[in-house]
Amino acid sequence: MDKDVIKKAQNGTYYFRASLGFHPETGKRIQKRESGFKTKKEALTAYAKLVLEKPEEVASRQSNMKFKTYLEEYYLPWYKTTVRETTYENRLNAIKKRFAYFYNIKLNSLKPIHIQKWQVLLSEKYSSHYVRLLQGMLSLALDRAIILGLLADNPSRAVGHVKYVKPKIDFWTKEEFEKVISILFINDFYQHFIFVSLWLLFMTGMRIGEASALQWADIDFDTGLLNIDKSLFYKNADNFHLTDPKTRSSVRKIYLDPTTLDTLKKWQKRQAELFNTDFILSYNAIPTNKHTISKSITRYSKMAGVPRIRIHGLRHSHASLLISMGENPLIIKDRLGHEDIQTTLGTYGHLYPNSNYDVAKKLNGILNCTPAKENLDTAPTNQHTIGYAKNCAKSVQFETIIV
């Protein structure tokens, strides 16, 4: 939305023209122009403040406002100022695409029935996890409309969420990953790059943003220690920059195995023969982006005859590999950069399919006892078993039983 509202002047400053609704008598659009902002962010913040200054006046002018107008002119400019840039960019496309269902409905005419129909349509195509995520974002947008005085209540919250079904974790086993990686011809420079990218993601469990942000200075080849303390915002080849990691726990140091270190050394030498760059995952002097890796996964998984997984599936694959090796969940938590152990166990607990069986095997024979050869209890016999006990005493001779 900001690309339509925030403009750049010839002198390098930024300006905007804000739509403040329609005149109640003439029906003409009310607009206000402000200029002279040094950065786009400053202009965007000013725009958000302007449209939020007097919500009661805005409400009186917007009785016929459609949902599309509210979303693009009021909500998105404000929302962008409240979240990380990467979060906004990642969600913007989904918001515009999935919320288009409501575009031609007047904001104050939005009812629970509209939300429910939308839920049903989405549920026919997408997972419950994705539908719940979308509705959560819709609820936030409508909560903001209430604060602005544009709605009396939130129809999304009145409807509630669809039933949650835990999503299936997609990952490659060690054998599946080996099939994919064996397809790549590393004498070819680009395939060598893909080889290193997939290898690093599989062997470290890093998020794609963390891996894309990695620089050669982040690796200590003597100790094998890798420093993960940033992420990459990538919009296009001319617009990318380093950002803070996802959470505080995302900042971490992990050790790399000797084979991975050797793989990276060879790539560093190969890369330096063609160009200079600080970024490890680069084949053209700029950092890679998730679409490049995603397309490679699609191409080479098909060639290898293994299921296609998402990029994040390589993170799951690393966790699965560690679990199959019997690693402690706390170690997995720290290596993946999870905030708490509940996140690790909640996500990967089901990958311990034989743990219950293994416990049973370990319990077998752990106790050693010999039952008494005579009754040592002089207390009265239970009234419900006294007859049974007498009959058994006449007909059964107890023998020593070793458990």
pLDDT digits (tens, 9 = 90+) for 117-156: 999 999 999 888 889 999 999 999 999 998 888 888 899 9
Residue bearing the bigger pLDDT, 354 or 358: 358
DSSP string, 218-247: GEETTTTEEEE--EEEEEETTEEEEE--SS
Q: Which amino acid belongs to residue 398?
A: F
| Count of residues in the chain | 403
Q: Quickly count: other Cβ atoms within 10 Å of residue 110's Cβ.
A: 20
Residue 388's pLDDT band (boundaries 50, 70, 90)?
Answer: low
- The pLDDT, as a whole number, for residue 2 is 41
Q: What is the CA radius of gyration of the chain?
A: 31
Instruction: Give the single-character DSSP code of 170.
Output: P
Distance CA 309, CA 316 (A): 10
Distance CA 264, CA 190 (A): 15
Helix or strand holding residue 260 (H, E): helix 258-272
pTM (global) more than 0.95:
no
Burial of 59 (0-12, 13-18, 19+ CB in 10 A): middle
Report yes or no: 229 and 245 within 8 Å, Cβ to Cβ. yes
Distance CA 369, CA 391 (A): 26
- The pLDDT, as a whole number, for residue 270 is 96
Domains of the chain, start order: 2-159 (1.10.150.130), 174-351 (1.10.443.10)
Query: For the stretch 222-259, what's the b/e string if a residue is b when 16 or more beta carbons lie within 10 angstroms of its beta carbon?
Result: eeeebebebbbbbeeeeebeeeebbeeebebebebeee
Q: Looking at the DSSP assignment, which residues form a beta bridge with residue 15?
A: 7
Report yes or no: 25 and 35 within 8 Å, Cβ to Cβ. no
Q: Could you report the per-residue pLDDT of 46-104, keeping only the tens digit for each? A: 877 776 654 445 444 455 789 999 999 999 999 998 888 888 888 999 999 999 999 99
| Coil, strand or helix at 19 | strand
Distance CA 78, CA 81 (A): 5
- The pLDDT, as a whole number, for residue 359 is 67
Residue bearing the bigger pLDDT, 280 or 171: 280
DSSP string, 276-345: --SBSS-SSSS---HHHHHHHHHHHHHHHT-----THHHHHHHHHHHHHTT--HHHHHHHHT-SSHHHHH
- The pLDDT, as a whole number, for residue 295 is 95
Q: How many CA atoms lie within 13 A of 9 on its CB side?
A: 15
CA angle 138, 142, 147 (to 5 degrees): 150
At a CB cut-off of 8 Å and minimum separation 6, what does 55 contact? Answer: 147, 148, 149, 150
DSSP string, 84-151: -HHHHHHHHHHHHHHGGGGTTSBGGG--HHHHHHHHHHHHTTS-HHHHHHHHHHHHHHHHHHHHTTS-
Q: Could you report the per-residue pLDDT of 219-236, keeping only the tens digit for each? A: 999 999 999 999 988 888
Distance CA 316, CA 382 (A): 57
| Coil, strand or helix at 354 | coil
pLDDT averaged over every residue in the chain = 83
